[in-house]
Structure formats: structure tokens, C-alpha cells
Amino acid sequence: MTSMRESPIRRQPPSRPTWLVALLVVVALLVVVGIGYGILSLVRGSSDSSAAESAAPVPSPCVTTMVAAGDALPQPARVKVNVYNATATSGLASKTATIVEKRGFTIGDVANDPAGKTITGVAQIRYGPKGERGARLLLVYVPGAELVQLDRKGRQVDLAVGDAFTDLAPQADVTAQLAETSPVVSGPGCASPSSAPSQS
């Protein structure tokens, strides 16, 4: 008796619809693109912040340097001085003008004090805002004089000589004073101390 085996019936798996496969592919692509964009944004953000940090100005420290007094003052030849006699002594303005000129200053007017003052002290050095540096230089040559700031234009300086005036300071003393150094601070947050001139 011959036995016949029935061959097993093979069932094919059900095929997926084409539209579903396409949808899955699109979703996968979107996921990959989203992940890539997120990584790129992180990298760009870190690089931009690093560039911003490197581009940000680094504040300089407060630096102290020693500066000579004469470095901030003009040369005598660049200072025009009007010499006035503010005393009852005849010829004092002319005599003083000769002495001042020999020290290198440029002489302007030589006359009695047009302000009509009688000065019992050494002298008055009068100047406008633009003549402040020239006045401070002249003060080194005329120690004991009084600085008087006026509301006027120009760089010219007036030297109104008083009763106590005898002579200019020795040139050696002038040179030594102009060579004296003082600390000056510079940098963000630092402020150099400044002495305001006296006013009358």
C-alpha cells in the first residue's frame, strides 16, 4: 500500500501596500534630516558663542607709568607772554621782559598792567582755557606767582609782575622741576588725578 504524503502548503506573507512603504521611507528620511539639523544647530551655536567670546574686547589692566612734568608742557618758544608792570617801580615790565625772553619765551606786549592792579606778591599769571599749559610752564620759571584763569580766547599768557618779584628761578632748578616724574594711571576704570588751577 503506497502512502502518499501531502506536500505542505506554503503560504506567502501578505504583501504591504506600496503607499505604506513610501510613507515609512519618507518618515525615516524626515527623522534623519531632523537629527542632522539638530546636531548642526548645536555645532553652530557653540562656534558662534566661541567667536563672540573671542571677539569681545578684553579690558586692559590699569597701568601706572611715570611721566615727567615737562612732557605735558610746551616749549618756551611756543608760549607768547605779555609782560605787565603791576607795581609803582618804573621800568620793571621792560626789565622782566628781557629776562623772560632770554629764557626762550616769545614776548608780546610790554606795558603797565592794563587791569590797573597793584600786586604786592610775586606776580599774577593770567591765561585763558587754551593758554593753561603755557601758564603752567611759566609758573615753573616764576615760583610763587598766582595762576589766574580768565574768560578769553587765544593761547597768550600775561605775566603781571608784583612788588615781591626779584628774578626768574635758576635754569638748573627749572630743568630739575620739569624732569620730575609722577605716576599716571591709565586703562578702563582708572582716572588720572588732576589739579584744577586757582581762579580769581
Show the beta-strand stretches assigned E in the chain: 63-68, 80-85, 106-112, 123-127, 146-149, 157-161, 181-186
Q: What is the pLDDT of residue 127?
A: 97
The closest alpha carbon to 110, from 122, 95, 125, belongs to 95
pTM over 0.85: no
Q: What is the pLDDT of residue 196?
A: 41
Q: What is the pLDDT of residue 195?
A: 41
The CATH class of 72-179 is alpha beta
Residue ranges per structural domain of the chain = 72-179
Q: What is the pLDDT of residue 108?
A: 97
**Tens-level pLDDT at each residue, the chain (200 residues):** 554 555 555 555 556 667 667 777 777 777 777 777 777 777 676 555 555 555 555 556 777 777 778 888 999 999 999 999 999 999 999 999 999 999 999 999 999 999 999 999 999 999 999 999 999 999 999 999 999 999 999 999 999 999 999 999 999 999 999 998 878 777 676 654 444 444 44
- Helices within 103-199 (DSSP H only): 132-141, 171-179
Exposure class string for 126-141: b at 16+ Cβ within 10 A, else e: bbbeebebbbbbbbbb
Instruction: Tell me the residue type at 118.
Output: T
Per the structure block, which three cell numbers stand in for 87?
607795581
Q: What is the pLDDT of residue 194?
A: 45
Question: What CA–CA distances, in Å, run from 12 to 20, 129, 187?
Answer: 19, 105, 85
Give the number of other Cβ atoms within 10 Å of residue 83's Cβ: 27
Residue-wise pLDDT tens digits, 78-112:
999 999 999 999 999 999 999 999 999 999 999 99
Residue 125 pairs with which residues in a beta bridge?
Answer: 147, 159
For residue 136, give the 3-state DSSP assignment: helix
